[in-house]
Amino acid sequence: MKSPTLVLHDAQVVRIEAHTGYTIYDENPQNAPYPYVVMGEITAKDWSDKLEDGMEVYSTIHVWSRYHGRKEADEMADRILQALSSSAISVGSNFRTALDRLDDYSLIVDMDGKTRHGILRFKYLIEEL
């Protein structure tokens, strides 16, 4: 079995950048201007059966804003959701996405009291071809 996580990550970045114009980071940048987006954690587990190989993948995307209030972070999260749910995401010729959906969204105030942190968690079922 092959892992689809890197292919999924790349496809998400391409889709988000194309639909939103946001710059995407792989880790929290130092000294980057707010707002920004960070590709976060990925969790994957096998869901293969006798006939097909596949993985259940959870992908987390973080939005960061210093806007006073929730408006900017919520708008960013909404644009990312629209970008990733507008059509099935292509994960290359070795995989097929059987399911892709938003699993969870949270918006919290960071420990500094002024930064808003949006956390989007997407669920994918990806079959190996």
Sign for the CA dihedral angle at 111, 117, 122, 128 comes to negative
How far CA 25 is from CA of 5, 37, 95, 108, 112, in Å, comes to 16, 6, 25, 20, 21
Calculate what percentage of the chain has a pLDDT beyond 90: 89
Q: What is the pLDDT of residues 85-114, one digit of tens each?
A: 988 899 989 999 999 999 999 999 999 999
CB 61 within 8 A of CB 19: no
pLDDT at 1: 75
33, burial (CB in 10 Å: exposed 0-12, middle 13-18, buried 19+): exposed
What's residue 2's pLDDT? 87
Tokens standing for residue 101: 């959906």
What is the rounded distance in angstroms from the CA atom of residue 115 to the CA atom of residue 111?
Answer: 8
| pLDDT tens per residue across span 45-78 | 998 888 889 999 999 999 999 999 999 999 999 9
Torsion of Cα atoms, 98 then 101 then 103 then 104, to 10°: 160
All structural domains of the chain, each given as residue ranges with its CATH number in brackets, are: 5-128 (3.30.2000.30)
